[in-house]
Amino acid sequence: MKTFRGYRRPQGLPGIRNLVAVIPSVFCANTVARRIAEHIAGAVAFCHPVGCSQVGLDLELTARGLKGLGKHPNFYGVVVVGLGCERFRARELAEGIAAAGKPVEMLVIQEEGDTLRAIEKGIILAGRLVEEASRQQQEGFPLSEFCLGLKCGGTDATSGLAANPALGWVTDRVVAAGGRAIFTEVTELIGAEQILAARAATPKVASEILTTIGDMEKRLSAATADRVIQHRSALISPGNEEGGITTVVEKALGGIYKAGTGPISGVVGYGEYPASPGLYLLDCIGHDGEAVTGLVASGCQAVVFTTGRGTPTGFPGVPVVKITGNSATFDRMKFNLDFDAGRIVEGATIAEVGAELLEKVVRIASGEPSRAELLGHDELFCITRI
């Protein structure tokens, strides 16, 4: 049975990294959060442009995303930094994270007096948490304790032929072992909804899949209805077209292969953790940053990201494993990509390459750094907005 090395947490899944997150409740606290993390090895700052001047669902999505991030198992503990007058209050964020049983510290800039005092206090708090985290030892865990995020970006024709099928093979093995896997990019599932609904574990889940994708299509139609902005309405990027993908349906039919072949257990909302093992659809848009942030906010300890065109991006504190089905792309971007699935195009079986990919994912889950981690890429953190 496959196992990976991780760090036990008070609740939920184990962490595959053992870091401290410094999370501002509002963009006004970004500099303080960043300066705290810069002074403490093992601390990671999550600066963002939201947390105030938002209302309704927009503010709620910010709250869900930041709480989900703070609860993430790869972070031993969290320092929450607030300003003091924002709409999304630091205390709500801290209490939401503490509900997961992990240590949380909080500081509010206006209460400390100024940014210098807040930074000084934050360095002490983050340093204490990092010191506590360093006492934890790695343990072996079965794949039933793993939650795998599935993402695809910079798609070309080889993504649906090689990279996504290889990842789908891995997905099936993780789920069969009692683990969890989550796919998303609802904007790029349009045209494949009936196929996905047919894989639903229950009629209720089938209805939820159809509703989720249908609602997204309606939102996109409304957003692009104005003739003045018709030239901004394409869901396919120039890179997709150059790589041989010309319609969103083509992209969807190739993209769903990364979700394997098994039943879909349910649909989860943004910032929501799956309650039980299985394969889940996350209701989130297809933008790379927002989608990966959504996967992390739903508890994925690692994200496997397929890319035919090649992309260097990563996420702070969560390994993003880059695989490509295009061997020429792999040769050109060797230090950005972790795995070449292009041998499938040349005749290797999906099972052969999938087994090698699973080994790679397990090694990275156990501590081997991904290419994005080695290079310090963190561009994929991006809280979604309506």
Digit-coded pLDDT (tens) for 45-82: 999 999 999 999 999 999 999 999 999 999 999 999 99
Q: Residues of 241-262 as b/e, b for ≥16 C-beta within 10 angstroms?
A: eebbbeebebbbbbbbbbbbeb
- Cβ atoms 53, 29 nearer than 8 A: no
* pLDDT level of residue 236 (50, 70, 90 thresholds): low
- Cβ atoms 308, 283 nearer than 8 A: no
Q: Where are the domains of the chain?
A: 19-133, 143-375
What's the confidence (pLDDT) of residue 91?
Answer: 98
Count of CB atoms situated within 10 Å of the CB of 17 = 24
What is the β-pairing status of strands 278-282 and 180-183?
Answer: parallel
**Mean pLDDT throughout 117-140?**
98
* pLDDT level of residue 258 (50, 70, 90 thresholds): very high
**Mean pLDDT throughout 12-32?**
98
- CA 275 to CA 212: how far, in whole Å? 19
- CA 200 to CA 142: how far, in whole Å? 26
- Cβ atoms 138, 6 nearer than 8 A: yes
Residue 95, C-beta contacts closer than 8 angstroms, at least 6 positions apart? none
Q: Which CATH class is domain 19-133?
A: alpha beta
- CA 292 to CA 314: how far, in whole Å? 9
* pLDDT level of residue 233 (50, 70, 90 thresholds): low
Count of CB atoms situated within 10 Å of the CB of 284 = 28
Task: Match 């072992």 to its residue by tokens.
Answer: 177
Q: ∠ CA(56), CA(60), CA(62), 5° rounding?
A: 125
What is the β-pairing status of strands 139-142 and 3-6?
Answer: antiparallel
pLDDT one-digit tens code per residue, 307-363: 999 999 999 999 999 999 999 999 999 999 999 999 999 999 999 999 999 999 999
* pLDDT level of residue 32 (50, 70, 90 thresholds): very high
Helix (H) or strand (E) holding 323: strand 320-324
Does pTM surpass 0.75? yes
Tokens of 123: 């360095």
Nearest CA to 106 out of 80, 73, 84 is that of 80
- Cβ atoms 35, 120 nearer than 8 A: no
